[in-house]
Amino acid sequence: MAVADWDGSDIPDWASSEQLRRFYRNCFHPEIIDDLYQARDWAREDQDFAERLRRSLDYLIERRPADSAAWLRLTGYYFLTEDELYGFLDDLRDYVFGDRPDHPIAPSP
């Protein structure tokens, strides 16, 4: 799938998890993105969601399938560069599943 056509359907568990699709489509909204610190609690409360979220973040960070424009179409949030986008996702993963003490703050769109 070309980046211009990217719709997130290649993300692991995308087709089978409405919860995961809602996470990406809603939680990156400009008015909500800085509340992503709650993802840590969601992952602790729901092991199935945690596994899906970890797989999806690992996939996105490793493969980098979307550019900033494609990410905007999927989530409604614009990152200036792909490095900024994937750096934020990496920080989010480290906060939710690693030892990052503070939640990441999204750059201004």
pLDDT digits (tens, 9 = 90+) for 79-91: 999 999 999 999 9
pLDDT over 70 for what percent of the chain? 95
Q: Is pLDDT of 1 > 80? A: no
Would you say residue 56 lies in a domain?
A: yes
Lowest-pLDDT range of 76-85, 86-95, 100-109: 100-109
Establish how many alpha carbons lie within 13 A of residue 108's alpha carbon, considering only the half-sphere containing its beta carbon: 0
Q: What is the pTM of this model?
A: 0.91
Would you say residue 18 lies in a domain?
A: yes
- Domain region containing 44: 9-97
Distant-in-sequence, close-in-space partners of 19: CB < 8 Å, separation ≥ 6: 46, 49, 52
Please count the structural domains in the chain.
1
> Could you tell me the sign of the dihedral formed by the alpha carbons of 13, 16, 17, 22, in that order?
positive
Distance of CA 73 to the CA centre of its chain: 13
Q: Is pLDDT of 95 > 70? A: yes
Would you say residue 104 lies in a domain?
A: no
